[in-house]
Every structure is written in C-alpha cells, then in structure tokens.
Amino acid sequence: MKFYFLISGFVILLTGLWHSGCKSSKAPQLFCDTVCNQDTLRFIGNFPTRPAIMITFENCEPKKITRSYLGMGSTLTTDFGFSGVKVNKNYIRCLFNDTSAVYILFNDCVTGRGFQIKMPFNKSGVISKRASSLNNFDPKFNIAEDMVAYIDKGNVFVEEVTTGKKAMMTFGKMLDIDYNNIHETIDSAHITNRRIWMKIKIDNAWKELEKNITPE
C-alpha cells in the first residue's frame, strides 16, 4: 500500500512539472497580427498637391518606399531601411506636411517597438530614420495627432508635423533602455504641442516627469 501511494505521488509530481513546463514555454503575446502582406500600401495626403507614399513588400517585409505628388514630374524611390520588422497595415500610417515632408510611423508586430521615417519630397533633403519612436499604436502612448515623438537613452524629442518646430525634455540621466521591451522603462506618455508628460523608471523607481514646452 505504501508503495502504491509512493508511485501515485511520483506520477502526480511529474504531471505537475510537465504542465508547469508547458506553461512557461508559452509564446509571448504579439503586439499585432504578423499575417504576411504582399500588397502595396498607399497613403495620400489631404492637400491639393496630393502628396503620396507607396510601400511595396517582398517576402512579407516592406522593401521600397516611393513618394510623389501632383506636378512632381517623376517619382522618388528608396529602400525601406529597416529589415526584419513585421508590419501590419493597420499599424502603419503617414503624416504629411504637404510636399515638404512625410512622416511614416509604424510598430513592429513582434516586439511592439516603434519606428519613424521622415522623408522630404526631393532628392536633396535628408531622410531621418529612428527606431525608438513613441507611436499612438501603443495604447500607453498618447501623442497629439499633429506631433511625432521619439527617445534616446536620456531624452524625449517631439516635433510638430505641419511646422517642423521641435522641443525636448531630459530624463535627468542616461537610462539603460531596451527598445524591444520599452515598457520595462517607459510606462506611458502624454504629449501635446504644449506639454510633455511621461512615467519612467529611474533608479528602479517609477517617476512622473513633465515639462511645458513651446516648439521652436
């Protein structure tokens, strides 16, 4: 009888360990659906000049960006610039400043990491690509519709889309930020063209930082 109870207990222990192991190996939740997209994405600005962006895909990843507008004469095409990202058409958008520039904002569906591309509608302008963008696709980041924002290890930078005016706020020290796990350090943010507010982990403690701004 004792032997029977020992065997039963051993079986229960193994069963518990097996279930525990299965639970711990559960895949992490994705930020958005990674369904393969091969269709061209098209975005058109609400201006008489009809500035437009087309993003083409290859092997399920964004490959090329083409930009144009009425009267431009020809199109401009460049590499997308970020490889290995999983893009969902519902988690990418474009903000146009007429024919001056366009801001392409998107989040990687696997990590939730925010990306930002600023492109001029000419050959001579500088293309800016940032892999630490705070985008509204993340429900914990509330960014005004006419603003874009991104961070580095010690600051947050904001820019008005229609004017190009900028402002910033410092975190007070350099932080060890893992942009693929942004919420380990940056819990949330609320940004307008008059105020920046963020909840940030500094020295293992959550702190709320805020600053009134006037973009220049």
Rounded to an integer, what is the distance from CA 38 to the centroid of its chain?
21
As given in the structure block, the two tokens for residue 110 are 């696997």
CA distance 26 to 19: 11
CA distance 194 to 214: 6
CA distance 176 to 102: 30
- pLDDT at residue 35, as a whole number: 87
Note the pLDDT tens digit of each residue in 57-100: 999 999 999 999 999 989 999 999 998 999 999 999 999 999 99
Note the pLDDT tens digit of each residue in 165-174: 999 999 999 9
- What average pLDDT does range 121-143 have in this prediction? 96
- pLDDT at residue 138, as a whole number: 97
Question: In angstroms, what is the C-alpha Rg of the chain?
Answer: 23
- pLDDT at residue 26, as a whole number: 53
